[in-house]
Structure 1
Amino acid sequence: MSNNGVVLIVVDALRYDTACTHMGFMQHLVERGAAARYEVRSEVPSLSRPLYETILTGTPPIIHGVTSNATVRLSNQTSLFHLVKESGKTTAAAAYYWVSELYNRAPFNHFADRIQLETDFPIENGLFYFEDHYPDSHLFAEAAWLMNEKQPDFLYIHPMNVDDDGHKFTADSKEYRNRVLAVDAILSLFIPNCLAQGYDVVVTADHGMTSDGNHGGNTIEDRHVPMFVLSRQVKQGIKEGIVSQLQVAPLVCQLLEIEPSEEMVPLLLNGVRTKKEA
């Protein structure tokens, strides 16, 4: 593995305010000068499949055309997976099956596509689940296996249990808040392993969750999500203001030291150091 690998973790439906109040380990990293914290506003519609595509290509739905969860097709954009491969680096993902449908094969075959190893697809090594209640603990164990055995330069991880409990019990429920606590506990074990292996880590979300137990709209609860960044290339601390979700993809390119796609917006993120500063 190169010395500038990146792990991008997208916690489905993690609201910004709940992340701030219930992710004690992540806040510890911020307070102790190990991480930066940003408030990110997602694109709309604040739905999962459109925003997976936005995060991974740096383009809005009006450009990439994935405007609904019912849009089942391969991406027509240049994703981070494509860019990483084109630069001679390697890719892997432990993620929900919609990610495979966007970048590897569509539609997803539950029997053939669950495990995809040593492929020529943009996601070279992928472990994909297809039940929303698939345990986050199992998913991170699979991600750890990918990291240790395949040593990818870019590893994408996408747990779903926060979203699942949000839909079942609403964002105002103890179940939703406790699930955020549980993800934070997993991250407290997983992130130190990433850092020990030389990875930068970005933790963010696709969208939030409302008191109605849903998302898709234009409220702060629907759209505002966190982004924690652990990298020597980004100054630590809590950053003021609200950041566009379109900044995630160019940030990952910067951390990986690869060229962004022509469709991505310029990286204008407060706190990103120049190469000389880093």
Structure 2
Amino acid sequence: MKHNVILVVLDGLNYQVARHALGHLQAYCDAGRAALYRLDCELPSLSRPLYECILTGVPPIASGVVHNDVVRLSNQRSIFHYARAAGLTTAAAAYHWVSELYNRAPFEAVRDRHTDDADLPIQYGHFYYADHYPDSHLLADAEHLRLRHKPNFLLVHPMNIDDAGHKHGLDSPQYRNSARRADIILADYLQAWLEAGYQVLVTADHGMNTDRSHNGLLPEEREVPLFVLGSAFSLDAAVRPRQTELCGTVCELLGVEHDKPVCRELLK
């Protein structure tokens, strides 16, 4: 069965903080309507390499996107490419690096910030380029895309948690409260997404450390959450998904042909 999918990437969200700070998402878990899993992000634990990993299923040392300053189009096939090849509609409200990976590089704000082009891998997009761009605005951008274009696949990618971590560190009220605020903002949209039939995955690219950075092997840098919500998921607590399996698993939900690894145990 084919499903529409929303993938939310809460940039920089550590697993332990997600486990105790995201009360709305945890309410779905407590009600038996969602499940939370722990993932180890691939290495290096940096943003642009892990956007590529999540969206293509390819680890950074294989993709060549090995740090944040690799500014070029991806040479891998992403969820956007598979969806477009199957005639599906794609959209993203995301940081501008996502546009650079899959649409056009380098990013030119006047040209690329608001994208409406049926021939691009990401056909419809709102892309921001300031890390403090409010999560509330980003979620509103995403909902605008959903209501206007009815995408089969929508990427939602806010940045304020990561921004707070870089300014204040993992063990700070600012970082934890940024995660709490993201959960509250998601609460305004999540039920409507589920009622519209979307399968929803909420994850992170990497975590954060007390040095106000990430790039290493510490658990707080590598361990990230994966919440899954929707009728297509098994909600099996014993499942151990990998970050490299997210692309293929989303493609399975979309019902599109692909050649990526899949965590089939996540699905019914």
TM-score over 0.5 for the alignment?
yes
Q: Which moved more, 1:10-19 or 1:249-258?
A: 249-258
* Offset of residue 233 of structure 1: 1.9
> How many residues are matched?
268
User: How far apart, in 2, do the equivalents of 1:61 and 1:78 lie?
Assistant: 14
1:258 and 2:256 are equivalent in the alignment? yes
- 1:70 corresponds in structure 2 to 69
Does the 8 A contact of 2:2 with 2:255 survive in 1? no
Supply the distance in 2 between the matched residues of 1:113 and 1:85 (Cα, whole angstroms). Answer: 19
- Which runs of 5 or more residues in structure 1 are unaligned? 274-278
Contact 1:247 1:269 in 2 (8 A): no
Greater shift, 96-105 or 249-258, is seen at 249-258
For residues 268 and 124 of structure 1, the distance between their equivalents in structure 2, rounded to whole angstroms, comes to 27
Q: How far 1:143 sits from its partner (Å)?
A: 0.5
Instruction: Report how far residue 236 of structure 1 moved.
Output: 2.4
Show structure 2 runs of 5+ residues with no match.
none
TM-score (norm 1): 0.93
Structure 1 residue 231: Cα displacement: 2.2
Deviation at 1:241, TM superposition (A): 6.6
Q: Distance in 2 between matches of 1:142 and 1:223?
A: 29
CA apart distance, 1:118: 3.1
Whether the aligned pair in 2 keeps the contact of 1:38 and 1:240 (CA below 8 Å) is no
SS at match of 1:100: helix
Q: Does the 8 Å contact 1:41/1:243 carry over to 2?
A: no
2:207–2:221 CA contact under 8 A, matched in 1: yes
Cα distance, 1:132 vs structure 2 = 0.1
SS in 1 for 2:91: strand
Q: So what's the TM-score if we normalise by structure 2?
A: 0.97
2:247 alignment partner in structure 1: 249
Which residue matches 1:233?
Answer: 232
Q: Which residue of 2 aligns with 1:202?
A: 201
Residue 193 of structure 1, CA deviation: 1.4
Q: How high is the sequence identity, in percent, across the aligned residues?
A: 47
Runs of 4+ residues over 4 Å off in structure 1? none
Following the alignment from structure 2 to structure 1, what is the Cα–Cα distance between the partners of residues 154 and 263?
23
CA contact (8 A) 2:239 2:265 kept: no
SS of residue in 2 equivalent to 1:59: coil
Deviations 1:33-68 (A, max 9, x none): 111211011000000000000000001112111001
Cα shift at 1:257: 1.3
Aligned-partner SS, 1:270: helix
Residues 1:19 and 2:40 are matched in the alignment: no
* Mapping of residues 1-278 of structure 1, within 5 Å: 4-236=3-235, 239-240=237-238, 242-261=240-259, 264-265=260-261, 267-273=262-268
Deviation at 1:3, TM superposition (A): 6.6
Deviation digits for residues 189-237 of structure 1 (CA, Å, limit 9, x no counterpart): 1111111211110100000000111001111111110001112221226
Name the CA distance, whole Å, in 2 between partners of 1:118 and 1:108: 15
Displacement after TM superposition at 1:271 (Å): 3.9
SS of 2:99 mapped into structure 1:
helix
Secondary structure of the equivalent of 2:110? coil
Superposition RMSD in Å: 1.4
1:276 is matched with: none
Is the deviation greater in 189-198 or in 166-175? 189-198
Amino acid corresponding to residue 51 of structure 2 in structure 1 = Y
Report the alpha carbon displacement of residue 112 of structure 1 after superposing the two structures with TM.
Answer: 1.6
